[in-house]
Structure 1
């Protein structure tokens, strides 16, 4: 009897191991995502015990230009199909070239694609990503062109009272030349950090490709952390592996703008850059657009090029119990800035952006001074899809002396 029980136990163990090997084999044979020749995207997951698997991503309505659901953020989940082996699959409609993000929802739990090693973090959320067609005009792909260098740089900010980190891009050839370069200060939105434009905005690839094609001037691009109470991105400062947040202390209360000269001073000391108004640009998205316009208004002799992408123009908060002087006497500051005749103020926003009223107020202030800015309204809303496009356009227009 004992021998029979032992034999049965051994047989059961062998069966379980064999079954596990079959499951592992079925899992290992899955590739996801697959970018197909017709620009469709196939997402797959091996989950034989799951009762429901859905796909959510910013490509679900990407082909419907006239749809109200074109904007990122309206990602109604779509049910994936399960076959007899336990594999769930969904193939999208043909997609426009773009940098797409998505998640899987397994029995109500949102996860990244376990077969896709490429992910991005946007505030406190993590997404799997896929690049279709090299992105818009192929500019989001790494191509066989001369490449710039990206560094994570720490600098001292006496105004903020801490050492802080920023991302700095230097163009191809910087290390081997004696040339001095113009500088673009490129600012992220609320909840972002010094990694946002590099990781979500594909700024490195965009600049490499535009410069290589002769469409943009070689430039240094400085991407600081716009959360003035932070040393660096979550998990990359001395506070350790903290949770990412949408809003941090001292957000849009004037303290970042007051400390911004610390960044310029560091850059102009540490890098071979030109140090005059004609060779400085400042641009940003959402909160970064807010920072950009108020930095320019309070430093009217500093920048000849100003880029405002979905700018949160009216979203200032109080510093303690009062409004910062940074945000006071705005009419006079617009008058002074416009009299200084910056070469370009470029404004872009999506037609469905929730900051449309801020956009109208910003343009009204410039219209009052009869300043001829450049304005672009695109499809979609408050999205990285738009902001990557705006950077691409703006970068081709600056430093054209």
Structure 2
């Protein structure tokens, strides 16, 4: 009987080993991407039956693309070369330090790299990523330094009538100290959710590195979901698995801004924070910049630090709620109450550039102080990661 049990055990063990090996040997045995010492990158794909394979990514020259928000700069594409073994190859130019994304296009079908397991989701599209180290990109890497903690929490939102999901970053040492910390509320753009800043924005890596270098104060970062019809990101909330949309109903109609106090109450009631204006900051990209603008003036004595990253400052037909009324009056009240930093940043080729220019003229006319940063490039995560790395060191000093 013992021999039979041992035989069954070894058979099961080898069977399980076989299944695990299937994952190992069932894939393509090539390296892609391969980052070289001179910062060129080789991409490879085994597709012997394909007639044409292209690669597209933000490391290539940009092209104009039509999007739901108008014409914008998008990633270019180039053809790859096929060898006798059916492996398609492309070698990039020398690349600057950066976090890059890319995809393959096989006979017109866009797909990810089967040899690269590292992906990020932006709205409904998933792309592979790789990093060219050095310079600014060192902030995007997980380096050998103390690390903070990332938590996904659920909070009660009476203003929206549901429990909702929020991503919280706490700085290194939070769990072992009795210290109270300031808070940055960091808001995503259209099509994003509570996962956007932590994955696409590399918030945890940026904050860990800035804090370790002594360039930023240790702080808590709250990254809520700005889509008020969702309790959580697609696949993470009660709506289950469904295709994410670029814009969902009620996204920019004042509902989110009006209920934002629910988020502040949760954070200040569940974390060791300094619960005062001097220790609260709010910032957001695109739609999140729109939300930031209106939240900060709707609660005009709540935040000492405000950051508008490529803010979607544009007329909207559904922007008719209470939050958007008395705009100049509440903005002036925010100015009169005083603040330490009102920070506006945008790229020179951003499709929202003119709207931001008009808004700055409005602030100039009323004498409202602000700082302005103008960068290269357009409406991209490449800019927004830089903006966060520039904004965070200015906080709570």
Tell me the alpha carbon deviations over residues 28-48 of structure 1, each in whole angstroms, 9 at most, x when there is no partner. 331111111111111100011
Q: Which residue of 1 aligns with 2:350?
A: 353
User: Residues 97 and 137 of structure 1 are in contact (CA less than 8 Å); yes or no, is this contact kept in structure 2?
Assistant: yes
The answer to whether the aligner puts 1:343 opposite 2:340 as a matched pair is yes
Alpha-carbon distance, 1:68 to partner: 9.0
Tell me the alpha carbon deviations over residues 145-181 of structure 1, each in whole angstroms, 9 at most, x when there is no partner. 0000000000010000011001000000000000000
Tell me the alpha carbon deviations over residues 95-151 of structure 1, each in whole angstroms, 9 at most, x when there is no partner. 111110111000000000010000111001110111111572510000010000000
Q: Which residue of 2 aligns with 1:193?
A: 193
Deviates more, 1:352-361 or 1:228-237: 352-361
Q: Distance in 1 between matches of 2:367 and 2:60?
A: 42
Q: Which residue of 1 aligns with 2:77?
A: 77
Q: 2:359 aligns with which of 335, 345, 362?
A: 362
- Choose 1 or 2 for highest CA Rg: 1
Deviates more, 1:215-224 or 1:326-335: 326-335
RMSD of aligned Cα (Å): 1.9
Alpha-carbon distance, 1:340 to partner: 1.4
Alpha-carbon distance, 1:362 to partner: 2.0
Q: Which residue of 1 aligns with 2:204?
A: 204
Query: Which 4+ runs in 1 deviate beyond 6 A?
Result: 24-27
Kindly tell me: are residues 230 and 26 of structure 1, through their superposed partners in 2, closer, same or farther at Cα, counting changes over 3 Å? closer
The residue correspondences of 1:252-401 to structure 2 (distance < 5 A) are 252-318=252-318, 323-400=320-397
Alpha-carbon distance, 1:364 to partner: 1.9
Kindly tell me: are residues 25 and 278 of structure 1, through their superposed partners in 2, closer, same or farther at Cα, counting changes over 3 Å? closer
Residue ranges of structure 1 left out of the alignment (5+ in a row): 1-23
Q: Which residue of 2 aligns with 1:34?
A: 34
Q: Distance in 2 between matches of 1:53 and 1:284?
A: 37
> Secondary structure at 1:393's aligned position in 2?
helix
The residue correspondences of 1:48-59 to structure 2 (distance < 5 A) are 48-59=48-59
Report the TM-score when normalising by structure 2. Answer: 0.90
Q: Which residue of 2 aligns with 1:19?
A: none
